[in-house]
Amino acid sequence: MDYEKIFLEKVSEKKTIVAIVGLGYVGLPLALSFAEAGYQVIGMDVDGEKVKKIGRRESYIGHISKDRLKNSAALFSATTDFQLAREADAIIICVPTPLTRHQEPDLSFVEGTVESLLPHFKEGQLLSLESTTYPGTTSEVLKPPLEAKGFNIGRNFFLVYSPEREDPANPDFKTQTIPKVLGGVTPSCTRVGLALYSQVVAKMVPVSSPEAAELTKLLENIYRAVNIGLVNELKLVADSMNLDIHEVINAAATKPFGFTPFYPGPGIGGHCIPIDPFYLTWKARAFGIHTRFIELAGEINSSMPRYVVDKLIKALNERGLPLKGSKVLLLGMAYKKNVEDMRESPSLEVLRLLLEAEAKVDYSDPHVPELPPTRRATYNLKSIPLTQDNIASYDAVVMLTNHKSFDHDLIGKNSKLLIDTRGAFPLGPTVVKA
């Protein structure tokens, strides 16, 4: 039986059923994109609350509108029952790939997902992994159990790696318009994968293997991590020289060639940039390679929350106040502006350091009404409204995430001391750059 031909015909006739496992910041937009393109989509997640919200057509991701969910109701359903994978022609895995406490790859979500799906795989299906991981994962972790079950990869089962490239809340790019890299275990796998994804993505970028696609994703995020580490280090240099690093970067950015601006902050956050470099350094050690440049950037970025707190301590001391017992208001707990995503947010580390020093800490973030439990701690804190009296009641205000909805004029005029980690305010008697 020519399974490739059958799959391609079903795709062209929009008869392909797509199952997407993991309905977070990657999986949900992808599921909606396939439904909007006319394909039946089965969303799968172990989180029953997400499944219930999708059933009620309620969005739990800020930049995903309720209207998109309502308009997709006829083609998009969600379930916690992985047995429904047997109904699908294509299965796409979009689950987290965090780090262990020892900063090593944690593939437990990927492995657990494959284990749950394995009894329900059938001949002719396509399996695609989108979770960020080290080169070799698709061939070393996903391929062996499929072959052990009797599948002949490239003939009666298709396996590809196609990394996600989501940028939540970016108005200029969405799932359909971001070019998508894909590498199949065999040429047949690549053809099948390209045929499916090209129905929802404007430009596909095939590469020679899953390993090439896996390394491509790591390169993209390591590129950002290293350059952010560079400007964070330059921020320390500029600060020691009483120079504004943001002024310097903006001036350099006027060069029309050979320079890409990156901006410093209180650290790096999100699921990708703080984590992905460790996936490559771990894998590189198996080949006897020490990725010193990448690891140094990671050390610099990881040190920035401490730098912010040290700047706060110094500024308070100059005003005759100790950090212990001082009232501090943190602005922004999400890892980037205009989203509710708190994964690996440096704001959480700043919060932890301040509480450890016995400061009295509150926060304000319109996208995070209350702090959910994290892997490290549970905080019983809720976002406070920004009013003139509220702001003025704090010994210090720390700008960590510069959300568009923050009233900068209100904050600037009423803060006794403002620690600015994002270059959001002009220098002044009450403003300290950090």
Quickly count: other Cβ atoms within 10 Å of residue 254's Cβ.
Answer: 8
Evaluate whether 161 touches 183 at the Cβ level (below 8 Å): yes
- Hey, what are 356's tokens? 């450890």
Q: 76 pairs with which residues across the strands? A: 41
Q: Which residue in 161, 117, 119, 121 sits closest to 139, CA to CA?
A: 161
Can you tell me which residue has the tokens 């500029």? 238
* E-assigned strand segments in 241-392: 327-331, 360-364
The shares of helix, strand and coil residues in the chain, as percent rounded to the nearest 5, are 40, 15, 45
Q: Which residue in 230, 225, 269 sits closest to 252, CA to CA?
A: 230
| Residue among 114, 129, 207, 272 flagged as catalytic | 272
Q: 40 pairs with which residues across the strands? A: 17
Q: 363 pairs with which residues across the strands? A: 330
**What would the 3-class secondary structure string for 349-400 be?**
HHHHHHHHCCCEEEEECCCCCECCCCCCCCCCCECCCCCHHHHHCCCEEEEC
| 180-184 and 158-161 strand pairing | antiparallel
Cα angle value 114/116/122 (rounded, 5°): 75
Q: Would you say the C-alpha torsion 363, 366, 371, 374 has a positive or negative sign?
A: negative
Q: Is 189 a catalytic residue?
A: no
Q: Would you say the C-alpha torsion 190, 193, 196, 201 has a positive or negative sign?
A: negative
Quickly count: other Cβ atoms within 10 Å of residue 170's Cβ.
Answer: 13
- Hey, what are 225's tokens? 């991590």
- Hey, what are 415's tokens? 């803060």
**What would the 3-class secondary structure string for 130-152 be?**
CCCCCCCHHHHHHHHHHHHCCCC
The residues that are catalytic are 272
